């Protein structure tokens, strides 16, 4: 059962702007930039559907096209968007290599150093799994789409595009060579 909370007065006032296609598009871009996966709406009453930490969240509208119900994290996300704040939907999870078979496989395949900066992994700088094409941009959760990165680099790469991630890697490695 999905928890549905009625929008607050502040959210209802802000929701008037969700009637405009430009506002919907801006909200969807903001969701993606903050780590949510924007999904295709499934019926004419859905304004926006996305997947975040708490699963799928939806902004519904009534017959008058005005948003009137928000499920999951939708209300909090819309409020953060309206206030110009960021809201992280996914966090880089640090995984100890001795417990995670996928991490061991990636170390065997790629070596025991960060994909971005090239720093060797150690207890103080453990590896994290990095999706080269992020899940929010449609990347699969397949080992071919993964590399290992140190936590600071993984957070820095965030939800960049694949090309941006490769440029970041090249930049960090160039800085390391020159000092």
Identify the pLDDT of residue 97: 39
Where the chain has pLDDT below 70, the residues are 1-21, 64-66, 90-99, 177-179
Identify the pLDDT of residue 2: 42
* Residue-wise pLDDT tens digits, 102-120: 888 888 889 889 999 999 8
Contacts of 128-132 with C-beta under 8 Å, sequence gap 24+, read 128/92, 128/93, 128/94, 128/95, 128/154, 129/93, 129/95, 129/100, 129/102, 129/103, 130/92, 130/154, 130/157, 132/162, 132/165
Identify the pLDDT of residue 66: 67
Identify the pLDDT of residue 21: 66
Domains of the chain and CATH, by start: 4-82 (3.30.310), 101-178 (1.10.30.50)
Identify the pLDDT of residue 6: 47
* Residue-wise pLDDT tens digits, 43-54: 888 889 888 877
């Amino acid at each position: 059962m999905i928890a549905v909370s009625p929008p607050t007065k502040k959210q209802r006032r802000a929701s008037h702007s969700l009637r405009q296609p430009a506002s919907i598009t801006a909200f969807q871009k903001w969701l993606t930039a903050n780590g949510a996966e924007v999904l295709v709406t499934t019926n004419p009453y859905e304004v926006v559907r996305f997947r975040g930490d708490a699963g799928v969240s939806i902004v519904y509208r009534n017959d008058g096209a005005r948003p009137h119900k928000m499920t999951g994290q939708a209300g909090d996300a819309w409020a953060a968007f309206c206030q110009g704040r960021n809201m992280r939907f996914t966090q880089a999870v640090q995984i100890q290599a001795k417990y995670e078979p996928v991490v061991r496989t990636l170390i065997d395949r790629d070596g025991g150093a960060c994909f971005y900066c090239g720093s060797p992994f150690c207890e103080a700088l453990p590896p994290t799994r990095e999706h080269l094409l992020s899940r929010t941009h449609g990347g699969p959760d397949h080992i071919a789409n993964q590399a290992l990165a140190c936590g600071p680099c993984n957070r820095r790469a965030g939800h960049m595009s694949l090309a941006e991630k490769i440029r970041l890697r090249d930049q960090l490695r160039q800085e390391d060579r020159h000092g």
